[in-house]
Chains A and B, each alone.
Chain A
Amino acid sequence: MIEWANTIVQGILTGGLYAMFAAGLAIIFGVMRLVNITHGDLIVLAAFIAMVVIETTGFNPFLSLIIVLPIMFVIGYMLQRGILNYTLGDDLLPPLLVTFGLSIVIQNVLLEVFSADSQRLKAGAIETSSIQLVDGLSIGIFPLITLVTAIAMIVGLQQLFNLTRLGRAFRATSDDATTAQLMGINHKHIFGLAMGLALGLVAIAGVLMAVRSNFDPSIGPTKLLYAFEAVIIGGLGSLWGTLVGGIILGVAQNIGAKIDPGWQILAGHIAFLIVLVFKPNGLFPRTRDD
């Protein structure tokens, strides 16, 4: 019994990381209606940037974020203003193709610069320390930090979207970019800020992922898949849904691994398919009146 409780608790903690992968993707889709195939590679890119920052400055991974986060924000803004804004329109295919191409470009550039070697960021004792709740059930401090960060991220985003001028502009532009321009909102700038914000979240997710597990230039698509599944399980447009989606995915994977180690990934995909069959719009789809 305690073993199963442990499996579920560890799954919830893993879900925090998946929710973090997914939050950026949810913003990009929510504001721009853009399906960002390159999302996973951007997570890996953030991890590599953090690696360079750490090697150069000697910062620990958490501190490296004060440099990595603004860099990713700027990359996001420029990517959106310089390339992706030109792909947006009624047709969903151009952004899909362009971000697919970008994904290949980023993977190959990372491969060229950093080689295919597996890397990991070291955060010291915090990586292995844990709190024992009861006999046979303990919580890793680092996974707990990841989950708490994911929750804080979603609370922060919710506040940003609901209570601030920028948040209203995000929502208005997402509803109707043409009418938003009549409010004096420069939708191209807003899209740039949304992508910058999403990549800021990607920076945090990338660094936490890189402390938790090995990474190399080829793992982006897997991270993208987890992010997609978390977003779709949660329901497009719902930030809290994204957290729930990430947790469901994490718990399913851990239960799968408990039954048979080879089932870990498959169990996550099966959970995703089950949700799709019974709730095609996800568990908490955003309702729209238009």
Chain B
Amino acid sequence: MSVLEIENMTAFYSDFQALFGVSLNIKKGETVAAIGANGAGKSTFLRSITGLVKNNADTFLYNGETLTGKVASDIVGLGIAMVPEGRKLFPSLSVEENLIIGAYQQRPGNWTLDRVYQMFPKLEQRKDIAGTALSGGEQQMVAIGRALMSNPDMLLCDELSLGLAPIIIKDIYSALPSIKAEGVSLLVVEQDINQALEIADRIYCFQEGRISLTGKPEDLTKDQIATAYFGR
């Protein structure tokens, strides 16, 4: 059974239409990757799910409850958390405060400050400094930890690898299996196709605001993906 079910979603920035009838579903505990070039609509799609971008859809259900018209803060309360593109840590909050603010809604669950520190031990050593004073990779760890502190059932990750060195990307992505093991469904937006194919149970390829291809990584050929990705 799908935890997230979206049929025919459209989204606009003022007069500019960014999504054209996108449909997608995610099952409990599944990892889905959304790939596509810059401007293909992946991030807009994630922001639409979180309620940050106004959207319309024939069906927009999370655990059977409609998300249409709900504001972002309510959607977090339902169990959807997001690691935003560019980390977006709060500059006036310390590392620990950045993590604690993730638990603002106080949803019950297994994720606590201690567990986040267990997953990313470096953060505990630097918990009192400003979050934005960390390296890019450490900031990404805080952003992931902050999202987990809300005890989500679904985690949306927007471009985890953006601007990070390959070795750091490996570190960051190595945290995802243990998150998945908690039964958390993952929707990962990623430009790095190889990274996406490696972790995803299914992929959706975006092109100019539409889904151009969907399937399991093992069922898709490189040519199919290249065509769907670049439109060749």
Binding site for B on A (CB under 8 A): 165, 168-169, 171-172, 174-176, 178-187, 286, 288-290
Contact = CB atoms under 8 A, between A and B. Distances in A.
Contact of A179 (B74, B90, B132): B90
A168 B101 contact: yes
B209 interface: no
B101 A182 contact: no
B133 A289 contact: yes
A70 B138 CA distance: 44
A181 B92 contact: no
Nearest to B82: A182
Nearest to B105: A184
Interface string B33-73: 00000000000000000111000000000000000000111
Given A176-B88, A176-B90, 16 more contacts: A165-B104, A168-B104, A175-B92, A175-B93, A180-B90, A180-B101, A181-B76, A182-B72, A183-B76, A184-B77, A185-B73, A186-B74, A286-B92, A288-B91, A289-B132, A289-B133
Contacts of A181: 50-52, 71-73, 76
Contacts of A288: 91-92
B130 A289 contact: yes
A171 B50 CA distance: 22
Contacts of B147: 182
Given A169-B101, A289-B130, A183 B92 contact: no
A290 B52 contact: no
Nearest to B156: A182
Contacts of A175: 90-93
B104 A182 contact: no
17 contacts: A169-B104, A172-B90, A172-B93, A180-B90, A180-B101, A181-B50, A181-B71, A182-B84, A183-B101, A184-B104, A184-B105, A185-B73, A186-B74, A288-B91, A289-B91, A289-B130, A289-B132
A282 B133 CA distance: 24
A287 to B, nearest CB: 9
A288 B146 CA distance: 20
Contacts of B72: 181-182
A32 B90 CA distance: 15
Interface of B: 50-52, 71-74, 76-77, 81-82, 84, 88, 90-93, 97, 100-102, 104-105, 130, 132-133, 146-147, 150
A268 B97 CA distance: 39
Nearest to A187: B73
Most buried by A among B71, B72, B93, B97: B72
A175 B88 CA distance: 10
B206 to A, nearest CB: 21
Contact of B150 (A179, A180, A183): A183
B83 to A, nearest CB: 9
A184 B150 contact: yes
Contacts of A289: 91, 130, 132-133
Contact of B90 (A171, A184, A186, A187): A171
Interface centre among B90, B100, B132 (most CB of A within 10 A): B90
Which of A178, A179, A182, A186 is the most central at the interface, judged by chain B CB atoms within 10 Å of its CB? A182
B224 to A, nearest CB: 34
Contact of A168 (B91, B93, B130, B150): B93
B146 to A, nearest CB: 7
A183 B74 CA distance: 10
B82 to A, nearest CB: 5
Contacts of A184: 73, 76-77, 104-105, 150
Given A168-B97, A169-B101, A289-B133, A182 B76 contact: yes
A290 B105 CA distance: 26
Nearest to A170: B92
Nearest to A162: B97
